[in-house]
Structure 1
Amino acid sequence: MSDLHYSSSPQFSETERTAVYRAINERRDMRHFAGGQVPEDVLLRLLRAAHHAPSVGMMQPWRFIRVQSRPMRERIHALIEQERQRTAEALGERKDEFMKLKVQGVLDAAEVLVITMPPGREAHVFGRRTLPEMDIASAACAVQNMWLAARAENLGLGWVSLFDPEALARLLQMPKGAHPLGVLCLGPVQAFYAEPMLQQEKWARRMPLQDMLMDEVWAQESSLDASALHTSK
């Protein structure tokens, strides 16, 4: 018989529930920052939120490197710019359009955190035997937790993935087998985008939820009708 213990916390009130959905709907991948600072207690709250993320087999594959020095930020910025140029070349006819986009705020944000996965992840078999990429999925849950918490704290957060992971690992002296997953730019912003920046810049648009739903097997139309729902920005 299970010895599991259950929480006696009260159910969420309507106000609390609304606040959760608001944070989800108004979360933005921010690229424009206003300098300033993130108080240490707030930063720790955000990191604690990340650390409370679910993870497959409770492997907790997240490690955070806080980058404060200007020289190290400039080196990270340079790596991102190198990959930005390579990405532009790979995009072909959309190269010029892409180069107009602001892709990172490493030099402007109050805080820069690199989320990386530690070596030895292959030892975690529970939930990963057939899907080893679940370490990435678990670490992404940690980032999402931090993202939502940051929005609730009225702070912007941007996830930058334009970099050579091996080059960034060398720069940050990561051990063999560690894998950087993102450069997180965090801090005060003048305002949050009214809708995702890439949507405002007409790079892409959020697809209708109805197009993502299926019943039973692939491509069978869903019995759920999401077309009448308000589309969140």
Structure 2
Amino acid sequence: MTNQKEESTAIRIPETDVSVYQAIFKRRSAWKFANKAVPRNVLSKLISTVAWAPNHRLTEPWRFFVLEQNSKIRESLAQLVYDQMLEETNDTAKSGAYKAKITEPPVIAYVYNLKGDNDFVTRENYASVVMGIQNMSLAAFAEGITVTIETGKVTRIQGLDELLGATQDLEMVAMLEIGYPDEEPTTTRTPIEGFTNWL
């Protein structure tokens, strides 16, 4: 980890024809990915956007553990997920589906939050990490890439922290499935007017 800071005025901003509004409204999660690797330089560019999320106190709490297709740790993790799900469900098909969440995406990344000195700071840090993930997912859309955010059982596997090397001062936020989508999911949302009070 480097302590060297980047000045906001010196950042080279990638060019894109995608507007912010297009990325916000058209971004989707996907679970079927094309058989196409995400180049390391593109992946690094996406992750770099996380650092520019709003961050009170500039605690920089985001921690990434990135597992590409050829990762040996990823192989071990996939088996760990399968074994624990099989023990829990006694269902080989269901356990295999959870294992596929680890094996099938071109890239997976576990994102952790650095705990603060108290619960309030930890909560602030967590909010910054989540906003950072949104930055990354919107930037990914501009690159034709999907970032699917998982917060379910694949983030609560016993022994996961130890396998990844996550220390006790970190807490899990999400697992990201990253790749070029092989589907175009649709979704719905309730208009925000019903949740807005103008006072």
TM-score band (shorter)?
Answer: 0.7 to 0.9
Cα deviation, residue 173, structure 1: 2.2
Cα deviation, residue 21, structure 1: 0.4
User: Counterpart of 2:191 in structure 1: which amino acid?
Assistant: P
Q: Contact 2:114–2:125 (CA<8 Å) still a contact in 1?
A: no
Cα deviation, residue 137, structure 1: 0.6
Q: Contact 2:112–2:170 (CA<8 Å) still a contact in 1?
A: yes
Structure 2: runs of 5+ lacking an equivalent = 1-7, 10-15
Taking the aligned partners of 1:47 and 1:153, their CA distance within structure 2 comes to: 13
Hey, what does 1:122 align to over in structure 2? 117
Cα deviation, residue 62, structure 1: 0.2
Taking the aligned partners of 2:125 and 2:82, their CA distance within structure 1 comes to: 24
Taking the aligned partners of 2:77 and 2:174, their CA distance within structure 1 comes to: 11
Q: Contact 1:79–1:168 (CA<8 Å) still a contact in 2?
A: no
Q: Contact 1:32–1:105 (CA<8 Å) still a contact in 2?
A: no
Cα deviation, residue 83, structure 1: 6.6
Q: Contact 2:107–2:177 (CA<8 Å) still a contact in 1?
A: yes
Structure (1 or 2) with the larger CA radius of gyration: 1
Q: TM-score, normalised by structure 2?
A: 0.73
Taking the aligned partners of 2:86 and 2:150, their CA distance within structure 1 comes to: 11
- Counterparts in 2 of 1:59 and 1:85: CA distance versus 1, 3 Å: farther
Percent identity, aligned pairs only, is 23
- Counterparts in 2 of 1:51 and 1:134: CA distance versus 1, 3 Å: same
Hey, what does 1:170 align to over in structure 2? 162
Q: TM-score, normalised by structure 1?
A: 0.63
Structure 1: runs of 5+ lacking an equivalent = 1-5, 8-14, 89-98, 197-204, 217-233
Cα deviation, residue 166, structure 1: 5.9
Say how many residue pairs are matched. 175
Taking the aligned partners of 1:84 and 1:53, their CA distance within structure 2 comes to: 38
Q: Contact 2:30–2:183 (CA<8 Å) still a contact in 1?
A: no
Which structure has the highest helix share of the two?
Answer: 2
Cα deviation, residue 192, structure 1: 2.8
Q: Contact 2:114–2:169 (CA<8 Å) still a contact in 1?
A: yes
- Counterparts in 2 of 1:81 and 1:144: CA distance versus 1, 3 Å: farther
